[in-house]
Amino acid sequence: MVVSAPLGLRFPPMTPDPNAGLDEIRLSFRAWLCEHQGSLEPFRSDDPGNLADSYARFRPLMRMLFDAGWTRLGWPESCGGLGGSPVQRAEVMEELAATGYIIPELYATTEIIAPMLIKYAPELAALHVAKAIAGDEVWCQGFSEPDAGSDLGSLRTRAVAEGDTFRVTGQKMWSSNGGIANWSCVLVRTGDAESRHRGLTMLWIDLSSPGVTVRPTACENGREEVAEVFLDDVIVPQNQLIGPVGAGWPVVMYLMQYERGAYAWKRQAELHSQLDELLGQASDSELRANASAIGAAYLAVFALRSQASPTLSTLASGRDLGPEISVDKLLLGATEQIITDTARQVLWPALELDDSDIGDSWRRAGRTPASRQSTAVPRKCNATWSANGSSASPEDGEHGRYGNGTCPRLDAAPRDQLPARRTGDPAA
């Protein structure tokens, strides 16, 4: 299938089939990973440097996955995608993590913001989504303010209509990726202060515009993962509206579904890989002494996966989720804490006192352990192809698909041996 490329982007003539089932997508992607393992090898570990360095490091991986079509699965053809279901793309992301590669951080932001653009600003989506998927643009959100964090109804950043533009003045903070972002979806007030949630509007703002000042904020882990954004009489064309004027609240609520659901699915894949890594970092005696804690951690990851799976399928079907989506966020937060607590217990006292790469990587919340390169690298990988060009399952590495082979993922087992899963599980 060949899709017309917006904005001069060039796609290869052969791309994944958006009509294929998940098993076929999975096997084809595994074969592609094997075929390109030499080029992909640098992306098995992440030097925990600053955000700009991490972006530069993983941008080639984003381009490779885009050019091959894997990250275009599930996005509409109107914005450079292949069509199909977002569940197919979720399958690709989980397989990427399961085979020992790091999922680029910026995919999370795209998964959260792009559905909002597609629904409420399709013209903007056509201009920007493909660029973000390919790693050519970075996005951030502009919601929280110094006096309006969780209470967005009290935000004070104001947009005043002037002809076919808005003049925007105010301040945003805690914008993830803000220090390297090109564009931001910014929630502004177009009504009076008493209008609360009814007087909000969403704008798409070019962060290189005159009047925009971005000030990165150093986090406890040493990385400038968030930023303050100051807007001083910034002129924004009205064609950069996301949804109607005054409809910012339903627009941001639509986005929040993906911040809870799609992000939880990505994180469960990463957390599972982190837990697998922990087994390779610990000694046999440490593993035996902490078997119960490790088992509980695996149960927590599987519980998160079981919750995120139907959520992802519901979002893919186009149905809106209500307050129940908060369960995914709460469960994700609890699982992240359990994984870190388990690492502290098993590797004690490395997280508190050890200056090695292992201790440093676990202290950086959300970062993948730096030992991935030595504990999760398949040593051989051979893909076979049938006469009709479809891929057969590639052979696993000599240590198993997930490194040392201890506690492999459920879907490493033959399909007919899998435990029953909830309806709508993307991997079912």
User: Distance (Å, rounded) from C-alpha 206 to C-alpha 421?
Assistant: 44
Higher pLDDT, 405 or 79: 79
pLDDT of residue 88: 96
Is residue 367 a contact partner of residue 48, using CB atoms and an 8 Å limit?
Answer: yes
* Separation of alpha carbons 295 and 191, rounded Å: 52
Residue 360: pLDDT band by 50, 70, 90 thresholds?
confident
Q: Tell the residue number behind the tokens 């399709």, with chain if given.
A: 122
Mean pLDDT within 78-88: 96
Task: Give burial (CB, 10 Å; 0-12/13-18/19+) of 254.
Answer: middle
Spatial CB neighbours of 288, under 8 Å, sequence gap ≥ 6 = none
* 342 within 8 A of 274, measured Cβ to Cβ: no
Do the beta carbons of residue 342 and residue 248 sit within 8 Å? no
DSSP string of 24-46? HHHHHHHHHHHHTHHHHGGGG--
Q: 2-6, 237-241, 374-378 — which is least confidently predicted?
A: 374-378
Q: Which residues of 18-48 are buried (b: 16+ CB within 10 A; e: fewer)?
A: bebebeebbbbbbbbbbbebeebeebbbbeb
Which segment of 94-103, 217-226, 418-427 scores lowest on mean pLDDT? 418-427
Q: Tell me which of 13-22, 71-80, 230-239, 311-320 is least confident.
A: 13-22
Looking only at Cα atoms, what is the longest distance across the chain? 71
Question: What pLDDT, on the 0 to 100 scale, is given for residue 371?
Answer: 33
Look up residue 198 and give its two tokens.
């009814």
List, for residues 262-307, the tens digit of each pLDDT value: 889 999 999 999 999 999 999 999 999 999 999 999 999 999 999 9
pLDDT value at 398 more than 80 = no
How many Å apart are CA 156 and CA 143, to the nearest integer? 10
**What pLDDT score was predicted for residue 16?**
94
Beta strand 183-189 with 200-206 is antiparallel
| pLDDT (mean) for 87-110 | 94
What structural domains and CATH numbers belong to the chain? Answer: 17-121+252-417 (no CATH), 140-246 (2.40.110.10)
**Tokens representing residue 273 in the block:** 């890989």
Q: Which amino acid is at 402?
A: Y
Instruction: Indicate if the pLDDT at residue 227 is higher than 70.
Output: yes
| Exposure of 382 in the CB half-sphere (CA atoms within 13 A) | 4
Q: Which amino acid is at 138?
A: V
Q: What is the pLDDT of residues 181-192, one digit of tens each?
A: 999 999 999 999
C-alpha 239/C-alpha 237 separation (Å) is: 5
CA distance 175 to 152: 14
Q: Is the per-residue pLDDT at 375 higher than 70?
A: no
Question: Using an 8 Å Cβ cutoff, are 397 and 404 in contact?
Answer: no
- Residue pair 58/102 in contact (Cβ under 8 Å)? The answer is yes
Q: Which of 9-18, 27-36, 69-78, 243-252 has the lowest mean pLDDT?
A: 9-18
Give the lowest-confidence range in 82-91, 195-204, 256-265, 351-360. Answer: 351-360
β-pairing, 139-142 with 183-189?
parallel
Residue with tokens 């994700």: 332
R_g (Cα) of the chain, nearest Å: 22
Q: Where are the beta strands (DSSP E) in 289-350?
A: none
- Which residues are within 8 A (CB) of 104 and not within 5 positions of it... i.e. 6 or more apart? 58, 59, 61, 62, 135
Which residue is it, tokens 């303010």?
A: 145
- Of the listed ranges 36-50, 70-84, 261-275, the least confidently predicted one is 36-50
